[in-house]
Structure 1
Amino acid sequence: MLIEAKDIAVALGGKPVLRGIDLTLRTGELVGLIGPNGAGKTTLLRVIANLLPHAGAVLYDREPAKAIGHKALARRIAFLAQGGAVHWQMRAEAVVALGRLPHRRPLGEMTAADQDAIARAMLATDAASFRDRTLDSLSGGERMRVLLARALAVEAEMLLADEPLAGLDPRHQLEAMTLLRRVAASGAGVVVVLHDLTLAGRFCDRLVLLDQGRILADGPPDAVLGDDHLSQAFGISVARGRRDGEDFVLPWHSLNDKETAR
């Protein structure tokens, strides 16, 4: 699948949030969407998912969403919203089953393929052990794993995930990023909003850095996570290192704090 966003602009409450965004996304790639708070990451992800009005155009395999149809696009693109704040008293397995709705006929029963997709998604996200618990009884991290499983159960060509690591402990953060990389390696596309620069640099094939509603940098992690980019977008300096053949960066100083200390 090829997604092309062309000259995207969004204003919310009269305030510009995105301006002049041009972005191309392809299957088989894990793309990290990074940037400071308020940079427009969530807004851009929602535009790509066809969930938010915007100026400019988004094309899916060179067709607009209207030509494809809502249900067909829902089978091709899975969207995991930010936060995981849910108050449903549904069983976790039933929530994951919602991911199969785009594949089912109205009032139709689940097929064996649906059941298999649900089981695979819950196993992949380490959520199978609480399949019978209701979501309101789960911790924030457990809920996020269930919601990630729901997105995976769609088995879409493109997965758009908005801060899927929120609330996860370090082990499950690593496992989630490993899973997303495996999804991309299997041929699907993954776009994930991240705040952890270390995980973004380690796991993503490509990073897109937003700042003040525009794309500041787009490319391989080592190029995007350069000192100048991080200083301009985040106002930080970083420590760099290498472990097991992989480079990593750690936020180390706020440049505001360093200026104050002088």
Structure 2
Amino acid sequence: MTVEARALAVSLGGKPVLQEVDLALRPGELLGLVGPNGAGKTTLLRLLAGLLPPASGSLRYDGESPRALGRQALARRIAYLAQGGDTAWPLSAEAVVGLGRLPHRRPFAGPSRADQAAIDHALEACDAAPFRDRPLGTLSGGERRRVLLARALAVEAPYLLADEPLAGLDPLHQIEVMELLRRTARRGAGVVVVLHDLTLAARFCDRLALIDRGRLVAEGAPAEVLDDERLAAVFGVTAFRGRHDGEPLLLPWRAYSSG
């Protein structure tokens, strides 16, 4: 499956949020969306998920528009993890993860063996199995994020779009989630993740798309996108660079000063 966005633009509240964005999602790749606060990353992710119609431009899934493909088919092809972890659902963690299987089930049908296997695998992958029976409202913010990520994984869609999945997680689970997303991509899925942590973006992502003030200003390998000039111009920082255990290390270090 291929996902292609061409000249996407959208305005919210009469204000342009994204302008003329071209982007292709590729199977087997971990793509990071990076940029400062308010750059338009979440809006772009919602467009790619088919949750927000563009004001102009086109979005195609295997050459089909979201309308031609249909909501049910799109829900089986695109798994979406929204930003934030608050929910009022009075459901257990396992039941919440089970919601990810709804696109695969017939109306009023119970979970199949395949559904339960997908739920169990997703809970284990996100280190959420120990609290599978607990109501979601009793979990910490980080635990809820892991459950909601498991729900997205349970869809077993060709594409996984995750908006700030590291928010609220401790360092260990941040690394484990990035390793999980990379493994998911290596198994053939296309994974798109919104990140603010440039250190993890540079280390784990195959490709980065840098969004600034609603425009795609750079796209490519992390080392090319996050060069010194763009770090200063877009993020206003300088960085320490190196390698550790054979992997690139980029650490935002101090505020950039032209002087």
Shared fold (TM-score, shorter chain, > 0.5): yes
CA–CA distance in structure 2, aligned partners of residues 38 and 129 of structure 1: 36
Q: CA deviation at 1:40?
A: 0.2
- What letter corresponds to residue 216 of structure 1 in structure 2? V
Q: CA deviation at 1:209?
A: 0.4
CA–CA distance in structure 2, aligned partners of residues 172 and 88 of structure 1: 24
Q: CA deviation at 1:53?
A: 1.9
CA–CA distance in structure 2, aligned partners of residues 205 and 92 of structure 1: 31
In structure 2, what is the equivalent of residue 70 of structure 1?
A: 71
CA–CA distance in structure 1, aligned partners of residues 148 and 107 of structure 2: 22
In structure 2, what is the equivalent of residue 139 of structure 1?
A: 140
In structure 1, what is the equivalent of residue 36 of structure 2?
A: 36
In structure 2, what is the equivalent of residue 193 of structure 1?
A: 194
Aligned partners of 1:216 and 1:229 also within 8 Å? no
- Unaligned 5+ segments in structure 2 are none
In structure 2, what is the equivalent of residue 111 of structure 1?
A: 112
Q: Deviations over 1:186-222 (max 9, x none)?
A: 0000000000001001000000000010011100111
CA–CA distance in structure 2, aligned partners of residues 50 and 68 of structure 1: 10
Q: Deviations over 1:59-115 (max 9, x none)?
A: 001111111111011001000000111122210000000000000000011100000
Q: CA deviation at 1:246?
A: 1.2
In structure 1, what is the equivalent of residue 26 of structure 2?
A: 26
Aligned partners of 1:238 and 1:249 also within 8 Å? yes
**Helix, strand or coil at the partner of 1:63:** coil
- Matches of residues 1-262 of structure 1 in structure 2 within 5 Å? 1-54=1-54, 55-255=56-256, 258=257
Q: Deviations over 1:154-196 (max 9, x none)?
A: 0000000000000000000000000000000000000000000
- What letter corresponds to residue 57 of structure 2 in structure 1? G
CA–CA distance in structure 2, aligned partners of residues 171 and 74 of structure 1: 31
- What letter corresponds to residue 147 of structure 1 in structure 2? L
Which portions of structure 1, spanning 4 or more consecutive aligned residues, are displaced by more than 3 angstroms? none
Q: How many residues align?
A: 258
Aligned partners of 1:84 and 1:140 also within 8 Å? yes
CA–CA distance in structure 1, aligned partners of residues 233 and 10 of structure 2: 23
**Helix, strand or coil at the partner of 2:36:** coil
**Helix, strand or coil at the partner of 1:86:** coil
User: What is the percentage of aligned positions where both structures have the same residue?
Assistant: 64
- What letter corresponds to residue 118 of structure 1 in structure 2? I
Q: Deviations over 1:30-73 (max 9, x none)?
A: 00000000100000000000101212110001111111111011
Over aligned residue pairs, what C-alpha RMSD do you find?
Answer: 0.9
- What letter corresponds to residue 105 of structure 2 in structure 1? R
- Unaligned 5+ segments in structure 1 are none
Q: Deviations over 1:1-27 (max 9, x none)?
A: 111101100101011100010111111
CA–CA distance in structure 1, aligned partners of residues 140 and 58 of structure 2: 39
**Helix, strand or coil at the partner of 1:74:** helix
TM-score normalised according to structure 2 size: 0.98
